Amino acid sequence: MSTLRAAVVGGGIIGAATARRLAMLDHDVTLFEKEPSLASHQTGHNSGVVHAGLYYTPGSLKAQLCRRGVDLLQKFAVEKDIPYDECGKLVVALDESELDRLDAIEARATANGVPGIRRIGADEITAIEPHAVGISALHSPQTAIIDYVAVTRALADDVTNAGGALHTGTPVTGLHTAGHQVVVETTSGTWSFDLVIACAGLQSDRLAHAAGDARTPRIVPFLGDYRLLKPAAATKVRGLIYPVPDPRYPFLGVHLTKRIDGEVMVGPNAFLSPGRETYEGIRGSWRDLRDAAAWPGFWKFATHNLPAASRELRTAMSTRRFVSEAARYVPGLTADDVVDGPRGIRAQAMNADGGLEDDFVITGHGPVVHLRNAPSPGATSSMAIAEHLVDTALERLR
């Protein structure tokens, strides 16, 4: 195929990786990002974990692209001299009621080819994490941490070094096809391209619908507030300590996460965000709240998840309750051991029946491809998702 004029909408890690993939194939690439800098949203507000693939349904896009993404990301980090720390992860069962669920995660991890995964007992838990407790755990020694903002910048550098263009501070206001071309309207002008791949994250459903896609799945933003352990308490955590997921709740629950800068994060909770981009306080976006409140799918989700909402509200309202969740795994932690940390907002796709979309979702038509759902392990999988998106786009053009 001859050189194409291609655009990528969205300057998070997946958008940057997609632009790089197109540039490496010698296509003429333009990346549009509405914020003044790249990685301003989900990429810049996550915990930095490089997931190994423990939880995902075997054969799903998440399972396939996570494992491929880890390999690509690790090689890229070495190439670009970006710190990459295989600090390891424990998924800890506190009592016998959690063992069957731990068995199921172990089976998925094995089916997904997670390297080095093994079941350990209480003595080995404390050998790996001396301050942690539990009766059994899964140990994933190659689960790692990295700075995803640094990765995004390095990906973007490859785009510009290959002759591509980055337009930051340039919101895309419209997207439509005109014959064999795709017209991209922005606040800075209008361009025409042979293909467009949209990786718009928190705004992905709106952009897709404006371009002619179905309204669903819709993005419902869930905020997650973190606390940071003070230095003395942070020495109690060597790597990543996670709970066994409870199927009664849609999200994972509070866990302890070492970051590449040495800080240790506690959290997050999970609650409906007052806005898709509200990273501080409770004053959000009327449009975002209206869209969620007016959609029957959200109320179906809320009705089915009242116990989860109650649990998350308690941790959102009380630092003591928040930290007590983490103290189940690292006894002795108290509210005095933490300070306020960052907030992340998860762009979670939700279906009309109120169910959360569990896999990556890719839609679009003709020369337009939309990434509609890419929560965790989206950052881990970013370079593999980019391969998949570009392959999908080029196959459509053929």
Q: Does residue 111 sit in the same domain as residue 184?
A: no
Confidence grade of residue 1 (pLDDT, cut at 50, 70, 90)? low
Strand partners, 165: 30
Residue 63 lies in a domain: no
φ/ψ bin of 368: left (φ > 0), alpha (ψ from -120 to 50), beta (otherwise): beta
Range of the domain at 323: 218-356
The amino acid sitting at 203 is: Q
> Which is it for the CA torsion 149, 79, 159, 211, positive or negative?
negative
Lowest mean pLDDT among 269-278, 286-295, 306-315, 383-392: 306-315
Angle among Cα 318, 323, 329 to the nearest 5 degrees reads: 150
Residue 76 lies in a domain: no
Q: How far apart are CA 77 and CA 378, in angstroms?
A: 17
Kindly state the average pLDDT of the residues 27-35. 98
Q: What does the pLDDT look like over 108-121, one tens digit per residue?
A: 999 999 999 999 99
Angle among Cα 245, 133, 240 to the nearest 5 degrees reads: 55
Q: Does residue 278 sit in the same domain as residue 203?
A: no
DSSP state of 45: G
Q: How far apart are CA 43 and CA 55, in angstroms?
A: 21
Mean pLDDT across the chain: 94
Residue 82 lies in a domain: no
DSSP state of 98: G
Residue 84 lies in a domain: no
Q: What does the pLDDT look like over 183-207, one tens digit per residue?
A: 999 999 999 999 999 999 999 999 9
DSSP structure string for 274-292: SSTT--SSS---HHHHHHH
Confidence grade of residue 272 (pLDDT, cut at 50, 70, 90)? confident
Which residue stretches of the chain are H helix?
13-24, 61-80, 99-111, 122-128, 148-161, 204-210, 231-234, 286-293, 296-304, 306-317, 319-327, 382-397
Q: Does residue 133 sit in the same domain as residue 232?
A: no
Q: Does residue 101 sit in the same domain as residue 117?
A: yes
Q: Does residue 167 sit in the same domain as residue 240?
A: no
Specify the number of domains making up the chain. Answer: 3
What is the value of pTM for the model shown?
0.96
Q: Does residue 314 sit in the same domain as residue 382?
A: no
Residues 6+ positions from 159 with CB-CB distance below 8 Å: 16, 19, 20, 23, 29, 31, 166
